[in-house]
Structure 1
Amino acid sequence: MPRFRAFRIHNDGAGYRANIDTMDTSALSSGEVLVEVAYSSVNYKDALAGTGKGRILRQYPLNGGIDVAGHVVASTDPAFKEGDAVLCTGSGLSETRDGGYGGYARLDARWTIPLPAGLSLRESMIIGTAGFTAALALLRMQDNRQSPTLGPIAVTGASGGVGMLAIDIFSRAGYEVHAISGKADHFDFLRGLGASACIDRHQFAFSGKPMDSARFGGALDNVGGSMLGGLLPLIAPYGNVAICGNAGGIAIDSTVMPFIIRGVSLLGIASAGTARHLRDRIWQHLAGDWKPRHLERIVTRETSLEELPEVFAHMLAGESFGRTLVHVDGAV
Structure 2
Amino acid sequence: MERFKAIWITKTEGEKRQNPPEVREIGLDDLMEGDVTVRVEETTINYKDGLAITGKSPVVRRFPMIPGIDFTGEVVASDTVDFAIGDKVILNGWGVGETHMGGFAGYARVNADWLIPRPHDLTGYEAMAIGTAGYTAMLCVIALERHGILPERGQVLVTGAAGGVGSVALAILAKLGYEVAASTGRPEEADYLHELGATTIVERSELQGAARPLAKERWAGAIDTVGSETLANVLSMVQYGGAVAACGLAGGMDLPGSVAPFILRGVSLLGIDSVMAPRRLRVEAYDRLVRDFDRDRLTRITTAIGFDDIITKAEELMAGKVRGRLVVDLN
TM-score, length-scaled by structure 2: 0.94
Aligned to 1:316: 318
Unaligned runs of 5+ in 1: none
Q: Shift of the alpha carbon at 1:149?
A: 1.9
List runs of 5+ in structure 2 lacking aligned partners.
Answer: none
SS across alignment from 2:127: helix
Does the 8 A contact of 1:101 with 1:328 survive in 2?
A: no
Task: Quote how far apart the aligned CAs of 1:327 are.
Answer: 1.5
Structure 1 position 284, deviation (Å): 1.1
**Number of residues of Structure 1 aligned to a counterpart in Structure 2:** 328
Q: Which structure is higher in RCO with an 8 Å CA cutoff and minimum separation 6?
A: 1
For the 8 Å contact 2:182–2:200, the answer to whether it is kept is yes
RMSD across aligned positions (CA)? 1.8
User: Does the Cα contact within 8 Å between 1:151 and 1:236 map onto a contact in 2?
Assistant: no
Q: Alignment identity in percent?
A: 38
Per-residue CA distance 1:93-130 (angstroms, 9 max, x = gap) = 11121111000111211011111133111000001011
The one-letter amino acid of 1:194's match is G
For residues 132-184 of structure 1, give each alpha carbon's deviation from its aligned partner in whole angstroms, at most 9, with x where no partner exists.
Answer: 11111111222222212221110011111111111011222222111011111
Please tell me the residue identity of whatever aligns with 1:5. Answer: K
Please give the residue correspondences for 1:203-214 in structure 2 after superposition, counting only pairs within 5 Å. 209-214=212-217
- Aligned counterparts of 2:57 and 2:210: Cα–Cα separation in 1: 34
Distance 1:227 1:292 in 2: 29
- 2:210 and 2:229 map into 1 onto residues whose CA distance is 12
Match status 1:278 vs 2:281: yes
Partner of 2:126: 123
Contact map agreement 1:209 1:233 (CA 8 A) in 2: yes
Question: 2:8 matched to 1:5?
Answer: no
**In the alignment, which residue of structure 1 is the partner of 2:243?**
240
Answer yes or no: is the 8 Å Cα contact 2:162–2:324 preserved in 1. yes
Matched, 1:194 2:197: yes
Worse overlay, 122-131 or 308-317: 308-317
CA distance in 2 between counterparts of 1:292 and 1:198 reads 23
1:1-332 aligned at under 5 Å gives the runs 1-13=1-13, 16-202=19-205, 209-290=212-293, 292-299=295-302, 301-329=303-331
TM-score (norm 1): 0.93
Whether contact under 8 Å (2:211, 2:257) holds in the other structure is no
Runs of 4+ in 1 over 6 A off after TM superposition: none
- Give the secondary-structure state (helix, strand or coil) at the position aligned to 2:270: strand
CA contact 2:126–2:295 (8 Å) conserved in 1 = no
Contact 2:207 2:229 in 1 (8 A): no
Which shifted more, 90-99 or 10-19? 10-19
Change (3 A) 1:91 1:209: closer
